[in-house]
């Protein structure tokens, strides 16, 4: 992203509003058809710890955890995904300053999940081929029913 301006700040506010209304704990700009490297995340129980990360990159990761994930991009599909237990993510904030966040548990999962979206991947791609085939069949069936 070349310049962080009022348009980017408004996008972040709109994405946060969409995420909270969904209700979700993370949203990537690519999920709302905006092709910028921006994610919003709030994995807090109180829903008052919004993180806006511009150009996020995983700088370090360690450990392993399995957590059930779902996604607004794949409605109705949930499964356990293996991800790093701890991550360090470098990013720019809305003022363009370089920041780092260290995360474990649910926040670590959410950051990895949303960064995947920026790389064109959804969580089901972390599952076995058999599970992916079953999910494709289920989504195709849902599409036929609503068509």
Please give the biggest Cα pair distance in the chain: 48
The CB density around residue 99, as the number of other CB atoms within 10 Å, is 15
The one catalytic residue among 45, 62, 114, 125: 114
Burial (CB count within 10 angstroms: exposed 0-12, middle 13-18, buried 19+), residue 52: buried
Task: Give the C-alpha separation, 106 to 43, whole Å.
Answer: 7
Q: Is 114 a catalytic residue?
A: yes
Catalytic residues: 114
């Amino acid at each position: 992203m070349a310049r962080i301006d009022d348009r980017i700040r408004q996008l972040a506010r709109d994405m946060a509003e969409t995420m909270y209304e969904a209700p979700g704990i993370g949203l990537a700009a690519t999920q709302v058809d905006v092709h910028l490297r921006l994610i919003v995340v709030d994995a807090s129980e109180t829903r008052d710890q919004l993180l806006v990360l511009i150009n996020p990159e995983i700088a370090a990761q360690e450990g392993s955890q399995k957590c059930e994930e779902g996604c607004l991009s794949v409605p109705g599909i949930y499964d356990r995904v293996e991800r790093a237990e701890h991550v360090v993510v470098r990013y720019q904030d809305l003022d363009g300053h370089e920041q780092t966040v260290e995360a474990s548990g649910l926040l670590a999962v959410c950051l990895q999940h949303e960064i995947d979206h920026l790389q064109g991947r959804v969580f089901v791609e972390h599952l076995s081929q058999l599970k992916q085939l079953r999910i494709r069949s289920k989504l195709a069936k849902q599409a036929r029913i609503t068509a």
